[in-house]
Structure 1
Amino acid sequence: MSLPTPSPREFLAAAPPGTRVVVRYRIEGGFTDALGDLLECGDAQCTVRTRRSDVAIALDLVVAAKQVPPAPLRRRPRTGA
């Protein structure tokens, strides 16, 4: 017997800050994703630090969320030779 899967809201509320997550949420005209480190999760919204900025997401708009592995190390740029 398996345990029930938590809802996206329950997952985000239980995840400790610093957990790397991807959050899919509704925007006008469709959906978008925020990939990065979870900074905080309150009663109404969560904040994810992406590569570009901190993204505040209303929990009512979240349709999916899960933990993801750490980001791969960035490669050094190649030097022309």
Structure 2
Amino acid sequence: MTPRFAGRLVIAVSPSDIGRRVTIRRADPDGFRDTIGVLTSWHEGVLGVRRRDGTLVDIPESAVVAARVIPER
């Protein structure tokens, strides 16, 4: 079955956004996963995002289906 999306998926984050707060949706074997935090790195196709609890999440650029910069809290 082909997934259907109700809205447009946009990737509006680039390496120039390092240090900014972002939300990233990535494809996962079980569906989609969202990560919110500060973009700390973007190196060799891997995005590093530090969550509020301090954990670092590495996200392969190839898995990103939507991303955007969000306002600070």
Give the TM-score band, short-chain normalised: 0.7 to 0.9
Name structure 2 gaps, 5 residues minimum.
1-9
In structure 1, the residue matched to 2:56 is 54
Q: Given the two structures, how large is their TM-score scaled by the length of structure 1?
A: 0.69
4+ runs deviating over 2 angstroms: 10-14
Q: Given the two structures, how large is their TM-score scaled by the length of structure 2?
A: 0.76
In structure 1, the residue matched to 2:24 is 23
Aligned residues of 1:46 and 1:57 also touching (Cα < 8 A): yes
Q: Which has the higher helix share?
A: 1
Structure 1 SS opposite 2:15: helix
**Aligned mates of 2:24, 2:14 — CA distance in 1:** 9
**Aligned mates of 1:11, 1:49 — CA distance in 2:** 15
Name structure 1 gaps, 5 residues minimum.
1-6, 72-81
RMSD: 1.6
- Quick one: higher RCO (CA 8 Å, sep 6+), 1 or 2? 2
